[in-house]
Chain A
Amino acid sequence: MRSALGVIRYTTLEAIRKGTLIAYFIIGTLIILVFLLGIRLSPEDGTSMEFFGNKVATREIMGLDLVNFWLLQLYGSASGAIMLFGLFGTAGMIPSFVEKGTAELFLSKPLSRASLFISRFTGAVGGISLNIVFFTIGMWLVFGIKLGVWNWGFLASAFFTSYIFACFFSVAVLSGIITQSTAVAIIMGFAFSLFSGILETRELVLYKAWDNAIFHRTLDVLYYITPQLDAMKNSAGTLIGTLEIPAARRLANIPESFTILPFVYSTLSATALYSLSIWYFKRKDY
């Protein structure tokens, strides 16, 4: 246990000293500060929202809470950016760990390869999660203090986004451990994020590209055996606010309310991908 904690500690310190963790904290802090300084309730009517003096929205139009809608937008773009930044910040952690000259140092320590792998993974994802939690709590406080909107779904999104990242990361980890290349890990992770977005809306686009039952089922299988990033993201988003227009929801494949299913499928597929990585790692000569 002490050894595993040591590896987590090592990984976290690596992320701090190499600058990624700090850089992300600074970016997060800057965005929080911009909102803290810029956002306020209009002193004129006390209900509309201002961003650096510009009226951006009234509080309620036709029963739609626009502040929550704003938070939903913020969540949508932030979680996209987090996947990318997270990928860049962590993709190298597996290949660099199994590099010649480094692998020997860790593999010859008294802990199993599985624990070594899991603690390295925990350190890498843990650093990104810390950033996510920090950013989310900061934004949540800004919206609460300045606008009086305490959106608990937004606060909870810190957990979901971290979880989605952990699932997303499985593809970069598997490619990284097999090819021992950071570049390949980043490319594969990036490709997967695009691919999973395309699969999410396969019924609207890909199905129509080729009207073939086998092709359609193949796409379905691919969708279910890989982590469903967008489905998880959209499901967690319903806790922040809902898109009231059914047609718009359908177009973006957003469910009406929170559903656990994409999390179940993604947990299974990410677990399978991580198990495959561990299986490979346990057998490999370094």
Chain B
Amino acid sequence: MTVVHTEQLSKTYRSGIVRRSEVNALRNVSLEVGSGEIFGLLGPNGAGKTTFVKILLNVSFPTLGSATILNEPLGSINIRKRSGYLPENHRYPNFLTGLETLMMFGRIHGLDPRTLKDKAVSLLQTVGLKDWAHHKIKKYSKGMLQRLGLAQALLNDPEILFLDEPTDGVDPVGRKEIRDLLRDLRNQGKTIFLNSHILSEVELISDRVAILNKGEVIKVGTVDSITRKEDEYEFHLADDVSSDVLSQIKQVYGQVEQDGKLLRVIAQSSEQMNKVIDFLRSKNILIQSIVHRKSTLEESFIELIKAEQA
């Protein structure tokens, strides 16, 4: 089932009365997010990620295009009823305590005050703020505020969770905790829409990602499909190969690099890669492992963005 479906969503910010300026924050963004997936929207600063999520949640309005979320048309109150949202750079009222914040926003969400308290307490526990429940959030660190925001987004048991830079300002341990929590939520069947510019993290948890640059989607797919270099394999061998054998392989397969017991082969296809195996085996060389070398998402990302700019 499709949870988020946008069609040619575009947003142009217009500002200035005398000297008019226009920013095309989104250009014809069409995306589909399926139920139960963790979907990462990636892009450099100013790519339009925040704008995209704001439009889905009624904070901003599209200039053109349409969208449905949970099969409800854009702007429907039911979308907001059934989603959770952690805005970027959110500012929770610092005159409240953590628990009061959850109670207050839970009420504003229309939740039943009788069951709200238990829910709020257990969520504070989940995000690791139990001991801070009765402290004014004035005293919270950036990472704690982020956890509180996450708890707030989960109050209504949302079917879809929109998180805008959720690990911003969170320490590495906290980041891991948040990732684990998100996996848990996905396993409970929730859909998670994640905005981030921290690629190494998105890589770790996203099922699929889209790369946004200057308001345009330049790539959509699984993390694997975006990062895999189709043709690079690393052979870890038990012994060094003789230069004799090496030159034989080079003759047949062209691009081969040797680094001690490591053999890096650029193969045109997996058949070719298997032929390398056959060859090595025929020479009685013991293969300990073969790694299909992937570039990191970050490398692919930078390449893609560079290619766009060229």
Contacts and interface: CB of A to CB of B under 8 A. Distances in A.
Given A10-B107, A108-B59, 7 more contacts: A3-B110, A10-B108, A14-B93, A101-B89, A109-B108, A110-B109, A286-B59
B259 to A, nearest CB: 51
Contacts of B83: 108
A275 interface: no
Contacts of B92: 105
Contacts of B77: 110-112
Nearest to A282: B61
Nearest to B58: A107
B80 A110 contact: yes
B95 interface: yes
B305 interface: no
Nearest to B84: A108
B110 A286 contact: no
A283 B58 CA distance: 10
Given A107-B57, A108-B58, A2 B13 contact: no
Main secondary structure of the interface of B (DSSP, over half): loop
Closest 7 CB pairs of A and B: A6-B107, A101-B91, A104-B87, A6-B108, A17-B95, A285-B60, A110-B81
A3 B207 CA distance: 35
Nearest to A109: B108
B80 A104 contact: no
Contact of A14 (B13, B95, B152): B95
B108 A285 contact: no
A285 B59 contact: yes
9 contacts: A10-B93, A101-B91, A104-B57, A105-B152, A108-B58, A108-B87, A111-B77, A283-B61, A286-B60
Interface string B104-126: 11011111000000000000000
B109 A109 contact: yes
B306 interface: no
Contacts of A108: 57-59, 80, 83, 85, 87
Contact of A286 (B54, B80, B107, B152): B54
B61 A285 contact: yes
A9 B54 CA distance: 26
Interface residues of B, number: 29
Contacts of A2: 107, 110-111
Interface in B105-152: 105, 107-111, 152
A82 interface: no
B110 A101 contact: no
Interface string B16-55: 0000000000000000000000000000000000000010
Contact of B13 (A5, A105, A285): A285
Contacts of A99: 91
Interface of B: 13, 54, 57-61, 77-78, 80-81, 83, 85, 87, 89-93, 95-96, 104-105, 107-111, 152
Contacts of A14: 93, 95
A7 B108 contact: yes
A55 interface: no
A101 B87 contact: yes
B22 to A, nearest CB: 13
Contacts of B54: 104, 285-286
B193 to A, nearest CB: 13
B84 to A, nearest CB: 9
Nearest to B25: A285
A10 B104 contact: yes
A97 to B, nearest CB: 10
A100 B87 CA distance: 10
- Choose among B60, B78, B81, B93 the residue with the greatest number of A CB atoms under 10 Å from its CB: B93
Contacts of B60: 285-286
Contacts of A179: none
Given A103-B59, A110-B80, A286-B59, A3 B108 contact: yes
Contact of A104 (B13, B59, B104, B107): B59
B94 to A, nearest CB: 9
Contacts of B109: 3, 6, 109-110
